[in-house]
Amino acid sequence: MRTSFTRGLAAVVVGLSMSVATAAAADSKNILAESARSIEGGRSVSVLVAQDELKSDINQSRVAVAGGGGLLLALIDVKVNSDRANRAEREIKPLRAALTGFDADALAKDTTASALAKLAWFQPGAVTFGRDATIQGLSAALDASAAPQQAIFQYSYDAVPDFSALRVTLTIRIANKALAAGQKPESRLAPKALVYSQQIVSVIALPSPSKDGEENAVQWTADNGKLARAALTTGFTQIGVLIPRALEKSQADVDALKHGKRTGDQGTHLTGWPMDNAADGTVLYDYDGTISHFKTVGQ
C-alpha cells in the first residue's frame, strides 16, 4: 500500500542525499542564457496557485533522522507532525476568516503580467490560470499550449510555523512542449529537462513577534486582517520586482555575488549573498539559487 507514511519513510532514506544533489544542480537551471531568451513562437504563460486560502506550515519533526532511523522513531515523527498540523490549522482559522475577500489569485496574475511586461524578449503569449500543480496537470497544460515553450509561474502563500511571518513563494519553470519519441509526457517537467527553474521567496515579518504562535496569529488577524493583507500584498509586489532580475541574471552576475560576504537574518533564518535590487527590503541569493526577500511589515 502506498501511504503518506511510506512516503515519509522514503523521504527519510533519500532526503539528505537529494538535498545535496539539488543544491549542486540548481545553479545551472536558474540562469537563462542570453541565447535562449528569445524563442520562435514565443512562450505561453501558466499562472498556478494550488490553494484557495492562506496555508499553514509546521516544523517537521526529525526524530528519525536524529536517531538514526527506525520504524519506532518514524512513527513518533508521524504523530508529532500530525499534532503540529492540527494545531497550525486550528490557529490559522481566524486569520483565514479575517482574509475573506483577499484575492491572492488576482495578485498572482497581476504580478506575473506586470513583471513580464518589463521583459520584451520574453514574448509572453496566452496566459492561463489554474490550481492543478500535479505533474499530470502541468503536463496536460503543456500539451494544450500553442507555443513551443511554457513558462509556469507557481505561487504559494502561507504562514511560517510560529506565525511570526507570512511568506509568498514563486517557483518559475520554463518547459519545452516538444516530446521526443518514447519520452513520457511528464518527463518534460523533470528538473533536469527544464529550460529554466528558479525560486523566489518573500518573507514579511511582524514588527514585534511573540514566541507564542497563537499570539502572532492574533496580531495578523486584528482589524480585519489589516497586517496580513499588507504583508501578502507586499510579498507579491516584491516578487514582481524580482522576477525580471531573476530571469535576466547571468552566470557572471551570480559569480560576482559569490565573491561577497554571506549574511543572514536572525528572525527569518534566511541566509545568502546580498543582491543589488530595486526591491523594498533585503534580498539574498543562496547556495541553491533561491532568491529570498525579507522585510518587516509596515516598515
Partner 1 sequence: MGLALAACAPLEPITASGTFQDHLPARAPAPAGGCAVNITAVADARTSPEILGIVGRAVKAPSDTQAWLRSILQGLGSRGFQVGFAAAPEPEAINMQVRLDKAWLTGTATNKTANVVVHVRAERAGSAPLEADYRGALTVMNWASTAAELQRLADTAFAKALDEMTPPLKRLCPV
> In the bound complex, what is the minimum distance in angstroms from residue 187's beta carbon to partner 1?
12
**Contact call for residue 37 and partner 1 (CB under 8 A):** no
CB of 136 to partner 1, least distance (A): 6
DSSP-derived secondary structure for 106-136: HHHHHHHHHHHTT-GGG-EEEEEEE---SHH
Compare residues 93 and 262 and give the one whose CB is closer to partner 1.
Answer: 93
> According to the binding rule CB under 8 A, does residue 190 interact with partner 1?
no
Q: How far is the CB of 218 from partner 1 (least distance, A)?
A: 18
The answer to whether 166 touches 217, Cβ cutoff 8 Å, is: no
Cα angle 21-51-59, degrees, rounded to a multiple of 5 = 50
Residues between 109 and 138 with contacts to partner 1, criterion CB under 8 A = 129-137
Rounded to 10°, the helix 4-29/71-98 angle is: 70
**String of DSSP letters for 153-164:** EEEEEEE-TTSS
The cell numbers describing 265, all together, are 537574518
Stretch that binds partner 1, among 37-45, 95-103, 210-218, 278-286 (CB under 8 A): 95-103
Give the shortest CB-131-to-partner 1 separation in angstroms.
4
Stretch that binds partner 1, among 21-29, 92-100, 245-253, 266-274 (CB under 8 A): 92-100
The answer to whether the CB of 194 falls within 8 A of the CB of 32 is: no
* Residue 2 is a binding residue for partner 1 (CB under 8 A): yes
Radius of gyration of the chain from Cα atoms?
20
Which triple of cell numbers denotes residue 134? Answer: 500535479
> How many residues can be counted in the chain?
299
Nearer to partner 1, 194 or 246 (CB): 194
For residue 57, the minimal CB distance to partner 1 (Å) is: 8
Using CB under 8 A, count the residues that bind partner 1.
45
Give residues in contact with partner 1 (CB under 8 A).
1-11, 13-14, 50-53, 55-58, 60, 78, 81-82, 84-86, 88-89, 93, 96-97, 100, 105, 129-137, 186
